[in-house]
Amino acid sequence: MADGISSFWGPVTSTTEWCEKNYAHSSYIAEFFNTISNVPTILLALIGLVNALRQRFEKRFSVLHVSNMILAFGSMLFHATLQHVQQQSDETPMVWEMLLYLYILYSPTWHYRSTMPTFLFLYGVTFAVAHSVFRFSIGFKLHYVLLCLLCIPRMYKYYIYTENILAKRLAKLYAATLFIGTLCWLGDRLYCSDISSWPINPQGHALWHILMGFNSYFANTFLMYCRAQQWGWDPKIVNFLGFLPYVKIEKPKTQ
């Protein structure tokens, strides 16, 4: 806690803290930069959601964009309070989101349509209950990394079968933001004692949030492109405001 500023939320009860001084800017926000750095994720997910609804993509993509926003709101709540109850609102949606990515990535070639969503739903509920009771720490991180790794082979398969240069660039941006973001996360986590003595804290975890917001947007947009190709919707990558890529489709009149 910063000198001279009291805590509105009381003592920290979360199992994890990051390399940012608590309540340094406000008595209502424990980790200021780690809280506000979730805003780009919400805005990017909102743009993706509007595009998915406007062009009538499958509901799975609307749910995916909404899940990104829920995760960002949960992260804001957790970093603002550093309470264990709010920690669940950050970590549990992270797992649910990865389960949704697994469904979107693997369901097009899954022969038994009802089994995958049923299994993933039950798995997500079971994890949420177990995590609230046992308060996984290292186990949660390893579990989340495993789910991410399960997504990579199918993402790579989509990448190598994609011919559009702009779509392939989305996949490259996804990989780049994931790599750089992971370095920021690790640096903030492993070298906090050194960083704390620096004149300026680079806020590695806040940078992780921002990069993961763009990472999710690039991943979602790339998957929307690939799915539109599967449906024969003649997808194209165009730019919103001249720099933010999104998918534009041309559905056959029969659809």
So what's the pLDDT on residue 5? 60
How far is it, in rounded angstroms, from Cα 154 to Cα 60? Answer: 17
Average pLDDT over residues 147-158: 94
- Residue 248: in which H helix or E strand, if any? strand 244-248
So what's the pLDDT on residue 204? 97
- Residue 247: in which H helix or E strand, if any? strand 244-248
One-letter amino acid for residue 206 of the chain: A
Alpha helices in the chain (DSSP H): 32-36, 39-54, 59-81, 84-106, 115-134, 138-160, 165-190, 192-195, 204-231
Residue 4: both structure tokens together: 């001279």
CB atoms within 10 A of CB 3: 7
**Is pLDDT of 1 > 50?**
no
Q: How confident is the model at residue 203 (pLDDT cuts 50, 70, 90)?
A: very high
Point out the annotated binding site for Zn(2+): 79, 205, 209
Point out the annotated binding site for Ca(2+): 18, 20, 22, 31
pTM of this structure: 0.92
Average pLDDT over residues 5-31: 88
The domain covering 32-249 belongs, at the CATH homologous superfamily level, to: Rhodopsin 7-helix transmembrane proteins (1.20.1070.10)
The dihedral formed by the CA atoms of 174, 97, 109 and 149, expressed in degrees to the nearest 10: 60
Point out the annotated binding site: 18, 20, 22, 31, 79, 205, 209
